[in-house]
Amino acid sequence: MAPPSIALVASLLLGAVSAQSLGRTPEVHPKITTWKCTKRNGCKEQKSAIVLDSATHPIYQKDNKELGCGNWGSAPNATVCPDQATCAKNCIMEGISSYADYGVTTKGSSLKLEMMGKNGVASPRVYLLEGNEKKYEMLKLTGNEFSFDVDVSRLPCGMNGALYLSEMKQDGGKSKLNKGGAAYGTGYCDAQCFTTPWVEGVGNIEGKGICCNELDIWEANARATHLAPHTCNKPGLYLCEGEECTSTGVCDKPGCGMNPWRHDVFDYYGPTKEFTIDTSKPFTVVTSFPADSNGKLVEIQRKYIQNGRVFENAAKATADPIDDAYCVGQNAQDFLRLGGMTGMGEAMTRGMVLAMSIWWDEGGFMQWLDSGEAGPCSATEGDPKNVVVVEPRPEVTFSQIRWGEIGSTSNMRKRPHH
């Protein structure tokens, strides 16, 4: 997730909230086909699953189902949660048996995320689970590549269909006080270091910020796209305090971003056939992460495939690839200060969790992504009130998710089929 305004946090960071005592409603994960690939043997199909972020699950106080257990931006309710053990006892999290009610459906290799759910705004965020549905799939992409197909045709100005990596724990922080773990979508963190009532499924009694390395492979709508790594100088999930949580602290909040529009390439990405990448139709996104002989991440490369044709990334001057030199040119000082490409690669080598979401920006109207120097949208098109006039039911579809050796996921002759 790129630089958000404080006002949009409720829609972005619900995921760090969770509860530990499990209710009676069963958790029924949608299934999805993914692939692991090698250049020699092509792409091998695997059965994966999707889990909604823990806060999307119904959470309530044991003795009063009408009451929750905490609000974003602070420690949990002190009366209900005077300590971690009492929190776990007093707060109940139910499973979700119908993901479609929350705007999440799968079919074969496709995952559709809808902004609107059964009861209004859903803005789902989901994570990729292993086939056993008990742990997150840990992607280790240093020296490898990641590809997926995407349909952004129903994402107008102001929307964001995001696919990114977070250095969460594989089990979601499962413990005696967090019985759900990854199977219930617990353990979220990112480089924005927001404070939420719960951390890894345990009461965040001291109200600390929740930080970890984040790699935004894809943030986009039909008008603009953004790619950005965000480093932290702490490995794994880290709880920050005070200055550590700020823009001068332990994590790079702005990221070292690449957006074609910001490099004055105005005819590359857009919703008609006049653009190089026609976002009115599906296309393939291929992101490679070359490493040196010592296994250190060197750069991030991007290309696209549409209608059987391969397109190199939109580039002027140093717009591609993203490496430390590019980040110097972009004045991405925090990214470089907190580890740069080496630090990002170290997190990727340890393993990161795949997150996918759809959201809008009630505070900043997504201007950082698609307005002004970032894109063709006006300053107010991203207002959710205007978004729903253009597209009453925004949605994004990710499909054909695959990862493996560089050159193995984008070989058209060995591409997996639905």
Q: What is residue 416's predicted lDDT score, i.e. its pLDDT?
A: 54
Sign of CA dihedral 218, 138, 246, 14: positive
Catalytic residue (one of 114, 219, 299, 391):
219
Residue 415: inside a domain = no
Integer Cα distance of 90 and 84 in angstroms: 10
Integer Cα distance of 180 and 272 in angstroms: 45
Residue 352: inside a domain = yes
Q: Is the pLDDT of residue 8 over 60?
A: no
Question: Looking at the whole model, is its pTM more than 0.75?
Answer: yes
Q: What tokens does 351 get?
A: 């393993």
Q: Which residues pair with 111 in a beta bridge?
A: 106, 398
Residue 203: inside a domain = yes
Average pLDDT, the chain: 92
Integer Cα distance of 58 and 68 in angstroms: 9
Report which DSSP code applies to 64: B
Q: Is the pLDDT of residue 5 over 50?
A: no
12-16, 25-29, 285-289: segment of lowest average pLDDT: 12-16
Integer Cα distance of 55 and 69 in angstroms: 11
Q: Is the pLDDT of residue 229 over 60?
A: yes
* Strand, coil or helix: 80: coil
- pLDDT category at 260 given cuts 50, 70, 90 is very high
Q: What is residue 68's predicted lDDT score, i.e. its pLDDT?
A: 83
Q: What is residue 205's predicted lDDT score, i.e. its pLDDT?
A: 95
Q: What is residue 344's predicted lDDT score, i.e. its pLDDT?
A: 98
If you average pLDDT over residues 313-325, what whole number do you get? Answer: 75
The tally of domains found in the chain comes to 1
If you average pLDDT over residues 135-155, what whole number do you get? Answer: 98
- pLDDT category at 212 given cuts 50, 70, 90 is very high
79-83, 157-161, 334-338: segment of lowest average pLDDT: 79-83
Integer Cα distance of 376 and 357 in angstroms: 23
Closest CA to 354 of 196, 100, 125, 13: 125
* Amino acid at residue number 362: E
Q: What is residue 179's predicted lDDT score, i.e. its pLDDT?
A: 93
- pLDDT category at 316 given cuts 50, 70, 90 is low
Q: Tell me if 149 sits within 8 A of 293, measured CB to CB.
A: no
Residue 158: inside a domain = yes
> Is position 214 annotated as part of the catalytic site?
yes
Q: What is residue 196's predicted lDDT score, i.e. its pLDDT?
A: 86
Specify the CATH number for the domain of residue 171: 2.70.100.10
If you average pLDDT over residues 298-322, what whole number do you get? Answer: 85
- pLDDT category at 198 given cuts 50, 70, 90 is confident
Q: Which domain holds residue 188?
A: 26-405
If you average pLDDT over residues 355-381, what whole number do you get? Answer: 97
Q: What is residue 315's predicted lDDT score, i.e. its pLDDT?
A: 67
Residue 129: inside a domain = yes
Q: Is the pLDDT of residue 199 over 70?
A: yes
Residue 118: inside a domain = yes
Residue 18: inside a domain = no
Catalytic residue (one of 114, 137, 214, 346):
214
Residue 21: inside a domain = no
> Is position 395 annotated as part of the catalytic site?
no
Write the pLDDT tens digit of every residue in 56-75: 999 899 998 888 888 778 88
Integer Cα distance of 236 and 250 in angstroms: 12
Q: What is residue 47's predicted lDDT score, i.e. its pLDDT?
A: 97
- pLDDT category at 320 given cuts 50, 70, 90 is low
pLDDT: is 237 or 318 the higher one?
237
